[in-house]
Amino acid sequence: MSIYTLGIDIGSTASKCVILADGKDIVSKSLIAVGAGTSGPQRAIAQVLEEAGMTKEDMSYVLATGYGRNSLESVANHQMSELSCHAKGATFLFPDVHTVIDIGGQDVKILQIENGVMTNFVMNDKCAAGTGRFLDVMARVLEVKVEDLGALSAQSTKDVAISSTCTVFAESEVISQLAQETDKCDIIKGIHRSVASRVVGLAHRVGIRDLVVMTGGVAQNVGIVQALEEELGHTVHTSPLTQYNGALGAALFAYQKYLKEQKA
């Protein structure tokens, strides 16, 4: 009989769940586009169980991660930081990974990984520049959907420089560019380069080694991935499961913890 574990990643902007069988096969996954402090976590849990045709009681171990991990004490057996879970998930998806870039809703994290174990990391300071929130703000100013940013930036024909220092300053720069009737696609590419510049500056603090993997929802934006590759001079790998990476890592840790508890 299989052992099922549930990983729950409650981020600042989305709630994600993954159910694993025997620590290797994904049984089901869910994503609700609201995170900590909302109905998102409970809805994501209900959805992932429903999709798997299971109940909470079928789960041998539940592990919570992400910004809202401490709010799930009644559901989860254990909680861990999302950095450790992202390292775990990325190693599962890309066994040769040495660097993970995770751009979340309000954090940027760069993880250094050796033999599947996180050995060093760096996070952004308390500032929204370079984060998913930065892209949300810019998309709103440009009156485009955040999920369309990648495709739009691919249509750019001209370089436009946008500040990488501050979300507020960058927003006023974008408004200024719009007032000058600069093409939106060019502005979006400039925004992507701005994010990439900020993230790469941070990444150099821990060092960059292949394989470089990008996780988190922002990894779905091909414009950001391309800008990062140009800034880094390394290929940046992504997975269709990128948004679920933290929850996947949590489910993997849950499996390990379950086995350890069984032995004890």
The residues of the shown chain that bind other proteins, judged by CB under 8 A, are 67, 70, 80-84, 106-107, 118-123, 125-126
In the complex with other proteins, the residue whose CB is nearer, 70 or 172, is 70
In the complex with other proteins, the residue whose CB is nearer, 77 or 81, is 81
In the complex with other proteins, the residue whose CB is nearer, 49 or 118, is 118
| Distance of alpha carbon 158 from alpha carbon 247, whole angstroms | 39
Q: Residue 116 Cβ, how far from other proteins at the closest point, in Å?
A: 13
Q: Is residue 79 within 8 Å of residue 64, measured between CB atoms? A: yes
In the complex with other proteins, the residue whose CB is nearer, 141 or 166, is 166
Q: Residue 118 Cβ, how far from other proteins at the closest point, in Å?
A: 6
| Distance of alpha carbon 110 from alpha carbon 69, whole angstroms | 20
Q: Residue 205 Cβ, how far from other proteins at the closest point, in Å?
A: 8
Type and span of the H or E element at 114: strand 108-114
Q: Residue 124 Cβ, how far from other proteins at the closest point, in Å?
A: 8
The closest of 189, 192, 196, 190 to 232, measured between CA atoms, is: 196
Q: Residue 10 Cβ, how far from other proteins at the closest point, in Å?
A: 11
In the complex with other proteins, the residue whose CB is nearer, 28 or 245, is 245
Q: Is residue 243 within 8 Å of residue 217, measured between CB atoms? A: yes
The closest of 27, 30, 1, 33 to 14, measured between CA atoms, is: 33
In the complex with other proteins, the residue whose CB is nearer, 50 or 114, is 114
Q: Residue 142 Cβ, how far from other proteins at the closest point, in Å?
A: 27
Own/partner pairs, 119-128, CB within 8 angstroms, 24+ separation: 120/206, 120/207, 121/83, 121/206, 122/202, 122/203, 122/205, 122/206, 123/83, 124/198, 124/202, 127/166, 127/167, 128/167
Left, alpha or beta for 53 (phi > 0: left; psi -120 to 50: alpha)? left
